Amino acid sequence: MTTTPLSPVDLLAAALYIGPDGDVRAAERRMTSSASGVWQIATFHVETDADVHADHWEMHPEAEEAVCCLTGGVRLYFRPVRPDSAEDMVQLQAGTAVIVPRGRWHRLELDGPSNLMSITLRHGTRLEKRTEAR
Domain boundaries, the chain: 15-129
Contact 74, 130 (CB under 8 A): no
- Would the pLDDT of 27 be above 60? yes
What is the rounded CA–CA span in Å between residue 111 and residue 13? 23
**What is the 3 state secondary structure string of 1-25?**
CCCCCCCCCCCCCCEEEECCCCCEE
Q: Which residue has the higher pLDDT, 107 or 36?
A: 107
What integer is the mean pLDDT of 68-78? 97
Round the CA-based radius of gyration of the chain to a whole number and report it: 15
What integer is the mean pLDDT of 49-66? 94
What is the rounded CA–CA span in Å between residue 29 and residue 9? 13
The DSSP 8-state label assigned to residue 101 in this structure reads P
In this predicted structure, what is the pLDDT of residue 96? 98
In this predicted structure, what is the pLDDT of residue 123? 86
Contact 52, 74 (CB under 8 A): yes
What is the rounded CA–CA span in Å between residue 97 and residue 72? 12
Contact 109, 75 (CB under 8 A): yes
- According to CATH, the superfamily of the domain at 15-129 is Jelly Rolls (2.60.120.10)
Residue 133 binned pLDDT confidence (cut-offs 50, 70, 90): very low
